[in-house]
Amino acid sequence: MSKDSVTITDNRTGQSYELPIEHGTIRALDLRQIKATAEDFGLMTYDPGYMNTASCRSRITFIDGDKGILEYRGYPIDELAEHSSFLEVAYLLWAGELPTSDELERWTHGVRYHTMIHESIKKFLDGFRHDAHPMGMLVSTVAALATFYPEAKNIQDPETRKIQFYRLISKMPTLAAFAYRHSVGMPFVYPDNNLGYAENFLNMMFHGREPVGSLNPNSHHSPILARALDVLFILHADHEQNCSTSSMRMVSSAFTDPYTSVAAAAAALYGPLHGGANEAVLRMLREIGDVKHIPEFIAGVKRGERKLMGFGHRVYKSYDPRAKVIKYWADRVFEVTGRNPLIDIALELERIALADDYFISRKLYPNVDFYSGIIYEAMGFPTDMFPVLFAIPRTAGWLTQWRESLEDPDQKIARPRQIYLGPGKRPFIPVDQRVPSDHVNGIV
C-alpha cells in the first residue's frame, strides 16, 4: 500500500527521513530536521522567484497551466465572461458563491454609493506633473486613501474588512479616471450612480471629449464597449499567486492596512514583466510597424536581444484562456470603434511565433496581455493607462486573497531565509589605513 510520504536519505550521515506529502507538497519546515551535525541549522529549500514553492492554501482561483484552465471559485472563466458581470464576479470572489438577485442588487447599490473620493485627493493629483504616468498617480493616491480611513488598520474585524472591500472596488475607477483627466488637463468627471460599473468608468474617463486615438470618436458611449470593458475586468479579476497578489499577501502579512497593501500590489503590477506588459506590447507592435518587419523582430528575440512581450507565462504552458476571450471581443469592439491595424501585426506575430520551435520548445503562448492593449487603444485609452486598467479589476482579487490570508491559521508574517555568501567576519579598518579596491558597486 503506497503511503503519502517521501523518504529522504542524507548521504552525509546515512540517516533517512520520512516526510509526509499533503496536497502534492512537503512542508519546508520538515526539512529542517535533516542535519549533517547537531549544530547544523538544518536543510532549507532554495527557490528564487518561487518557481516551485506554494506560499499558501487557497480556495479562490484554480489554474491548470498545461490545460489552459482558469476557474474562479470553480466557475470556468469563459462562462463567467459570457454570462456574468464584473461586480457579480467580484462578489463571487469575496463571498465564495454567486450572489442571488437580491444580494447582487444590494451589493451593486453599495458599490455605487462608495464611488466618491475625498475632495482633498484632488490636491494630491494636482501636485503631479501633466505627464506623470497614471500608474504612479494610482499607486500614490490609493496609498493616500489609508490616511482618510484610519479605522482600516483594524484588519482583524470582518466588518471593517468588508467595508474596505466596498470602498476600494468602488473608488479604484474614480482614482484611475481622475488620474487620466489630470494628465489631459480636463476637469474631473464625478461618478454617476445611475450608470453601470464599466459604463461609469468610461463616462468619468471620456465625458466631454473624444477619446484620444479612438478610431471612432463617439464610440465610447457604445454599450458594446461598456460590456467589452466589463468582460476585460472579469478576465483580470484574480489569478492566484501572481507577483502582485503575492506582494499583497506579503505586505499585509505585517498587518499593514489594505489601502497601503493594495498600493504595494499595484506597484508590483506596474512592472513590464507583469501588468505593465500590455503597455509594452503596444509599444512593441508600434515599433514593428508592419508585418514585413516581423521576421527580423523574431530573429532578435531568438538571439535573446529582447522578449516577445505578451508571450509566455510562469504557469500557463499552453494558450492563456483569457487571451482567447479577449481575441473574440477584439472583433466586437472593432465593429464599433473601427479596426485597429495593430491587430494584424499581432495576429501575424502570433502565427509565426506559434510555428517557431524557439517558442514551441519553451511553451511560449500569448498571455492575457498580448491582445488586451489593442482593444484598449481602439477604445481610446492612452497606452500608459493600460496597467491602470489591469489594477482596477485585480483589486477584487488582491483584497479577496488578503482576507483569505488573514483568516488562514497557517499564515504569519512573511520572512524568507537566505543563503549567505558574503565575506566572513573581519576587523574594522580605520579610514586612514584603507586602500582603494575595485569593488564593482563603488559609487565614487
Alpha helices in 147-239 (DSSP H): 158-183, 197-206, 223-235
Q: CA 346 to CA 366: how far, in whole Å? A: 10
In 3D space, the residue among 170, 178, 128, 168 whose CA is nearest the CA of residue 145 turns out to be 168
Q: Does 283 bind ligand SDX (CB under 6 A)?
A: no
**Which member of 311, 334, 386, 402 binds ligand SDX (CB under 6 A)?**
311
Q: How far is the CB of 372 from ligand SDX (least distance, A)?
A: 10
Complex with ligand SDX: residue 123 or 302, whichever CB lies closer: 302
Q: Does 349 bind ligand SDX (CB under 6 A)?
A: no
In 3D space, the residue among 223, 219, 232, 199 whose CA is nearest the CA of residue 338 turns out to be 219
Residue written as grid cell 482583524:
156
Distance from the Cα of residue 420 to its chain's centroid = 31
Phi, psi (degrees; rounded to nearest 5) at 168: -75, -40
Q: Does 181 bind ligand SDX (CB under 6 A)?
A: no
Amino acid at 411: Q
Closest residue to ligand SDX using C-beta atoms: 312
The answer to whether 252 and 402 have CB atoms below 8 angstroms apart is yes
Q: Does 232 bind ligand SDX (CB under 6 A)?
A: no
Complex with ligand SDX: residue 70 or 179, whichever CB lies closer: 70
**Which member of 312, 373, 380, 393 binds ligand SDX (CB under 6 A)?**
312
Task: Give me the half-sphere count of Cα atoms (radius 13 Å) on the Cβ side of residue 184.
Answer: 23
Q: Between the CA of residue 381 and those of 46, 281, 345, what are the distances in Å? A: 42, 14, 19
Q: Please say if 369 is a catalytic residue.
A: yes
Q: CA 373 to CA 276: how far, in whole Å? A: 10
Of the residues 274, 331, 438, 439, only one is catalytic, namely: 274
Segment interacting with ligand SDX (CB under 6 A) among 283-291, 303-311, 327-335, 402-410:
303-311
The answer to whether 80 and 389 have CB atoms below 8 angstroms apart is no
For ligand SDX (CB under 6 A), the number of binding residues is 20
Q: Does 209 bind ligand SDX (CB under 6 A)?
A: no
Q: Does 310 bind ligand SDX (CB under 6 A)?
A: yes
Q: How far is the CB of 393 from ligand SDX (least distance, A)?
A: 10
Of the residues 313, 320, 432, 439, only one is catalytic, namely: 313
Q: How far is the CB of 319 from ligand SDX (least distance, A)?
A: 13
Q: Does 67 bind ligand SDX (CB under 6 A)?
A: no
Q: Does 274 bind ligand SDX (CB under 6 A)?
A: yes
Q: How far is the CB of 365 from ligand SDX (least distance, A)?
A: 10
Of the residues 257, 320, 369, 384, only one is catalytic, namely: 369
Q: Does 171 bind ligand SDX (CB under 6 A)?
A: no
Q: How far is the CB of 352 from ligand SDX (least distance, A)?
A: 13
Segment interacting with ligand SDX (CB under 6 A) among 53-61, 93-101, 337-345, 363-371:
363-371
Q: Does 249 bind ligand SDX (CB under 6 A)?
A: no
Site for ligand SDX in 88-107 (CB under 6 A): none
The three cell numbers of residue 106 are 444590494
The answer to whether 374 and 336 have CB atoms below 8 angstroms apart is no
The three cell numbers of residue 295 are 521576421
Complex with ligand SDX: residue 271 or 338, whichever CB lies closer: 271
Amino acid at 401: Q
Q: Does 308 bind ligand SDX (CB under 6 A)?
A: yes
Q: How far is the CB of 143 from ligand SDX (least distance, A)?
A: 21
Q: CA 379 to CA 149: how far, in whole Å? A: 34
DSSP string, 338-372: ---THHHHHHHHHHHHTTSHHHHHTT--B-HHHHH
List residues with catalytic annotation: 274, 313, 369
Binding site for ligand SDX (CB under 6 A): 239, 242, 273-274, 277, 301, 307-315, 362, 364, 367-369
